[in-house]
Amino acid sequence: MAEIISERLLIASEYQQALYSEPLLRPSVPPETAAVILRYGAMVGTEIEHLKQAPRCMDLARARIHACEEEDRSFASGRVIIADRLTDGKGRFLRHWHAPDGGLWMVLTLVNTLLPEHASLYSLAAGVACCETLRHYQLNATIKWVNDVLLNGRKAAGILTETMRGPKGGEEYVLIGIGVNVNNTSFAPELRNTAASMAEFAGHPFVLAEVTARLLAKLAWNIGLLHYAEAEQLAAGSGTSLNDMPHPLIAAWRSLSDTIGRQVRFGFNVALAPQFTAKVIDIDDRGQLLMRLADGQMVCENGGEIIYV
């Protein structure tokens, strides 16, 4: 227990240092604007729970929400649950997620206060935060739509976003599950050619608490950007839409992604049921993937997944 508390305090301390260095990394953002963005994202890491082992962090987050509502307590938006290893990790379509010691396995839970058009970008914000974290350590990471973070074409991190309604109050919660292969370099046989870790590409292990803190700071910044962009749109007037104002988060995603311009196979569970092959043209300001079919027809998708062809 003492070891867990010490690790949690170290993460919190490193997080505060990383958080206030964020504006320094973005000289194009005026200091007063950076301060506003960080205030919007300050709820990230409100509480940090660190466990040696858990079945699945998403399920724990749901249980914490239920417990708070049953006791008529407010749930702390921005609460983070971190586990050293998961015994029943799940990704999209309930695929098993290999999550041994050495990786970063966490869930961030937010009370959703954004309008739907902005809330739809939570997942992209998490993807940008993960990719920026790896790049902070001089790793040439890229994002594959929606939110796989790749190192030389191999998956180093993944994000799964789920929503739920509080059982009593009806509050909407956003659960952002994040898995990053940091120091774990041994993968299951079926993953050896498709998975990668930070340590493998850097040639050395990392201090896991420091990487966790850096990721929390990146999440605070990028989720803060969502709130900032919404506030700017609302201040501009009721007739303004996302398409009228360039979204800073979308611009960041485009700059980090290697998906635009690629030929892809698309499907909602693409490995089992591919639907079509197309060329990716762009993403729009709601994070939807714009693709051109072979006959020239344009399609737009806000869900599903892709495989590079």
Name the residue type at position 32: E
State the pairing for strand pair 172-180/263-267: unpaired
| pLDDT at residue 126 tops 80 | yes
Of 147-161, 180-194, 208-222, the one with minimum mean pLDDT is 180-194
Confidence tier at 24 by pLDDT (50, 70, 90): low
Instruction: CATH 2.30.30.100 in the chain: give the residue spans.
Output: 259-308
CATH code given to domain 259-308: 2.30.30.100
pTM: 0.91
If DSSP codes are grouped into helix, strand and coil, which group holds residue 300? strand
| Selected residue with higher pLDDT from 142 and 247 | 142
CATH 3.30.70.20, domain 2-236, yes or no: no
Query: What are the structure tokens assigned to 265, written together?
Result: 């196979």
Instruction: CATH 3.30.930.10 in the chain: give the residue spans.
Output: 2-236
Mean of all residue pLDDT scores within the chain: 89
pLDDT at position 8 is 67
Give the helix ranges, DSSP H, for 237-270: 248-256
pLDDT, tens digit, 9 for 90 and up, residues 263-290: 999 998 888 889 999 999 999 988 999 9
